[in-house]
């Protein structure tokens, strides 16, 4: 019965020792490194799949070890859970001790003051011991010391004073704040959610907050899809300004917001200044162009697609596709012909160079736009049940020969049309701006901020505070043979820095000087 208990107690002691805490701190630092070396799923799922492509042998093993979700992995969690357990084990006894220390009156002066690290020999001072003790006590109180004066059996007095409890208060505050940061982070990850999406300008491409409408999303463990606040956004304007070098200088999106049944037009947000809605904030991450492509099939039926093209460089050379799976439906039969679907792969260039490559933009604004299209006809492979990228033509269908290129690549300027071999036409109508937005809610973040600020205050107190004690003993002159007058006493002093404090000797000397007859005030002892 006792042995497991002893084992448990010893393990707990081991865990809460400073050596263990330091080891765990270092393990945490080392365990943080892989997450900066390997791509992370929560940062970029794309980079993780790229890594799989480049290292097909290594990636599955790394994945098993949790390297691609390093900060949620069992080893990372194990270290910080142990670290925080060690922290709790360390601060609980210290809280108790500190509570007692703060309420305790300063201890009685030691018998031999001259053996303390700082001391001043007995010298004559004014007044009786009781008067001198009262004077010293008042002076120390003014200097914000905790003071106790005690009368001794032989009629002499001692004054004990202590200062600097704020150091340990700050220390404990800092460590408690760390725990509360962790709690806030955990709360945020349970009850927070986020989604990313491309929002194309225009009423028909408005967005309403729900999971299926996101391109990518993540909900906290305690968040249900139905919990998301309902609001809708329509991008009405997007202003991008660029320098001559093509570097962006400002982005600003204007949206119409429908929230709780109320519609507000003209709400603007920009990089660094998000749109704050009830229960979520909308952040502007990027910007691009969505070409409008109209296809008129051989039966004269027109369809229009507005598809966002993803930029491939800083000059916003963008690529994407426009797919028309419902094209060329014979109006006589109403049957869809699977080998007559049409899709266009395109490269959109907002500013084409005067001469040279028309598929490489030289400026990110639309100064001389051009869209180069490659047409494919056949089966787009949309119906196979396999998830299909909206940004690329299904390469497998091309490889299988089910999708074939029609003619050569064709460059179109806005408003231009291209007639295909079957008499159908494709028109590049123009473009719309789009904004890449992130919609996020983290109900824990204010609490985390508050806790971090508390932690910083605690840290500052703990690093700058100095705990120290001073003692004075005042003996009546008649108890000493060397006395000259009857209304005087002898005072000796001693000081004890409880923490590393190189300036203590100076402070002590000033204090003692101030208590001597004709001494100054205790100012400057802080």
Partner 1 sequence: MAELSDQLLVVTVLAYLVAMICHAAEYAFGTKSHIGRAALRPERELVMSGGPALVEKSSDPVAEAPNPWRSVLIGRAAVALTGLAAAAHIGTLITRGIAAERVPWGNMYEFILSATFIGIAAWLVVLVRWPNLRHLGLFVALFQVLLLGVAGMVAYTPVGPLVPALDSAWFIVHIAAVSTSSGIFLLGAVPAVLYLMRAGYEKGKRSFPYTLAKNVPAAAALERLTFRLHAFAFPIWTFGALIAGPIWAEASWGRYWGWDPKEVWAFISWIVYAGYLHARATPSVKRNVATWIAIIGFLTMLMNLFGVNLFFGGLHSYADV
Q: Which is nearer to partner 1, 37 or 262 (CB)?
A: 37
For residues 493 and 160, the answer to whether their CB atoms sit within 8 Å is: no
Out of 10, 12, 13, 26, which residue is the one contacting partner 1 (CB under 8 A)? 26
Q: Which is nearer to partner 1, 63 or 196 (CB)?
A: 196
Q: Which is nearer to partner 1, 134 or 459 (CB)?
A: 459
Out of 2, 53, 100, 245, which residue is the one contacting partner 1 (CB under 8 A)? 245
Contacts of 132 (CB under 8 A, 6+ apart): 125, 126, 157, 474, 489, 491
Q: Which is nearer to partner 1, 193 or 289 (CB)?
A: 193
Pairwise CA distance, residues 151 & 205, whole Å? 86
Give all strands of the β-sheet with 310-311 in edge-to-edge order: 310-311, 318-324, 341-349, 370-378, 403-412
For residues 209 and 437, the answer to whether their CB atoms sit within 8 Å is: no
384 binds partner 1 per the rule CB under 8 A: no
- Length, in residues, of the chain: 526
From 27-35, 114-122, 128-136, 509-517, span contacting partner 1 (CB under 8 A): 27-35
45 binds partner 1 per the rule CB under 8 A: no
Out of 219, 271, 358, 362, which residue is the one contacting partner 1 (CB under 8 A)? 271
Pairwise CA distance, residues 305 & 286, whole Å? 22
Out of 157, 193, 251, 295, which residue is the one contacting partner 1 (CB under 8 A)? 251
Out of 15, 21, 362, 365, which residue is the one contacting partner 1 (CB under 8 A)? 21
**Residues 246, 247, 250, 256, CA torsion sign:** positive
Pairwise CA distance, residues 197 & 201, whole Å? 13
71 binds partner 1 per the rule CB under 8 A: yes
396 binds partner 1 per the rule CB under 8 A: no
Nearest-CA neighbor of 347 among 396, 301, 269, 293? 293
Nearest-CA neighbor of 402 among 346, 337, 347? 337
From 143-151, 200-208, 224-232, 267-275, span contacting partner 1 (CB under 8 A): 267-275
Instruction: For residue 499, report the phi and psi dihedrals to the nearest 5 degrees.
Output: -130, 165
102 binds partner 1 per the rule CB under 8 A: no
Query: How many other CB atoms are found less than 10 A from the CB of residue 484?
Result: 7
SS3 at position 172: helix
Q: Which is nearer to partner 1, 228 or 426 (CB)?
A: 228
Residue recorded with tokens 């419902």: 326
For residues 483 and 489, the answer to whether their CB atoms sit within 8 Å is: no
Residues 180-219 interacting with partner 1 (rule: CB under 8 A): 185, 194
Out of 186, 285, 384, 390, which residue is the one contacting partner 1 (CB under 8 A)? 285
Interhelix angle for 2-15 vs 74-103, to 10°?
90
Nearest-CA neighbor of 143 among 161, 131, 128? 161
From 124-132, 244-252, 387-395, 518-526, span contacting partner 1 (CB under 8 A): 244-252
Q: Which ranges in 336-481 belong to alpha helices (H)?
A: 395-399, 445-464
Q: Tokens at residue 170, please?
A: 């700050």
36 binds partner 1 per the rule CB under 8 A: yes
502 binds partner 1 per the rule CB under 8 A: yes
From 108-116, 241-249, 468-476, 489-497, span contacting partner 1 (CB under 8 A): 241-249
From 1-9, 92-100, 412-420, 433-441, span contacting partner 1 (CB under 8 A): 433-441
Letters for 454-493 (x = contact with partner 1 by CB under 8 A, - = none) are -xx--xx--x------------------------------
Pairwise CA distance, residues 412 & 357, whole Å? 14
Residues 440-459 interacting with partner 1 (rule: CB under 8 A): 440, 442, 445, 448-449, 452-453, 455-456, 459
Binding site for partner 1 (CB under 8 A): 18-19, 21-22, 25-26, 28-29, 32-33, 35-37, 40, 42-43, 70-71, 185, 194, 243, 245, 247-251, 270-274, 281, 283, 285, 438-440, 442, 445, 448-449, 452-453, 455-456, 459-460, 463, 502
């Amino acid at each position: 019965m006792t042995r497991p208990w002893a084992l448990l107690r010893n393990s707990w002691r081991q865990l809460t020792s400073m050596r263990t805490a330091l080891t765990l701190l270092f393990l945490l630092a080392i365990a943080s490194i892989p997450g900066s070396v390997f791509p992370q799923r929560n940062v970029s799922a794309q980079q993780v799949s790229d890594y799989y492509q480049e290292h097909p042998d290594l990636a599955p093993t790394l994945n098993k070890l949790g390297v691609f979700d390093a900060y949620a992995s069992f080893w990372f969690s194990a270290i910080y859970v142990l670290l925080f357990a060690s922290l709790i084990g360390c601060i609980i006894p210290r809280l108790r001790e500190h509570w007692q220390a703060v309420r305790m009156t300063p201890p009685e002066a030691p018998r031999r003051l001259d053996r303390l690290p700082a001391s001043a020999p007995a010298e004559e001072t004014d007044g009786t011991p009781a008067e001198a003790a009262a004077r010293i006590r008042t002076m120390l109180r003014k200097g914000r010391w905790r003071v106790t004066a005690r009368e001794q059996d032989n009629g002499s007095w001692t004054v004990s004073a202590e200062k600097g409890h704020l150091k340990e208060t700050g220390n404990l505050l800092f460590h408690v704040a760390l725990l509360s940061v962790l709690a806030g982070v955990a709360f945020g990850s349970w009850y927070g959610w986020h989604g990313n999406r491309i929002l194309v300008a225009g009423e028909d491409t408005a967005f309403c907050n729900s999971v299926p409408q996101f391109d990518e999303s993540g909900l906290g463990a305690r968040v249900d899809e139905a919990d998301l606040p309902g609001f809708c956004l329509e991008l009405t304007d997007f202003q991008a300004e660029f320098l001559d070098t093509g570097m962006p200088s400002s982005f600003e999106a204007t949206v119409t917001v429908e929230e709780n049944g109320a519609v507000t037009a003209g709400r603007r947000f920009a990089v660094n200044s998000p749109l704050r809605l009830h229960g979520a904030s909308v952040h502007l991450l990027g910007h691009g162009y969505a070409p409008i492509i109209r296809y008129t099939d051989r039966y004269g039926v027109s369809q229009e697609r507005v598809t966002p093209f993803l930029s491939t460089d800083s000059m916003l050379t963008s690529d994407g596709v426009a797919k028309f799976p419902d094209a060329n439906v014979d109006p006589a039969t109403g049957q869809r012909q699977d080998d007559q679907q049409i899709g266009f792969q395109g490269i959109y260039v907002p500013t084409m160079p005067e001469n040279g490559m028309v598929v490489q933009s030289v400026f990110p604004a639309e100064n001389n736009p051009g869209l180069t299209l490659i047409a494919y006809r056949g089966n787009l492979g949309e119906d196979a049940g396999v998830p299909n990228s909206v940004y690329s033509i299904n390469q497998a269908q091309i490889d299988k020969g089910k999708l074939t290129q029609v003619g050569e690549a064709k460059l179109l300027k806005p408003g231009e049309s291209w007639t295909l071999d079957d008499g159908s036409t494709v028109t590049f109508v123009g473009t719309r701006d789009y904004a890449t937005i992130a919609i996020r809610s983290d109900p824990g973040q204010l609490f985390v901020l508050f806790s971090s600020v508390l932690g910083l205050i605690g840290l500052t107190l703990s690093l700058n505070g100095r705990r120290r004690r001073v003692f004075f003993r005042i003996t009546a002159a008649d108890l000493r043979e060397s006395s000259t007058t009857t209304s005087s006493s002898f005072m000796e002093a001693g000081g004890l820095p409880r923490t590393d404090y190189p300036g203590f000797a100076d402070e002590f000397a000033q204090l003692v000087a101030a208590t001597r007859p004709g001494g100054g005030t205790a100012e400057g002892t802080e």
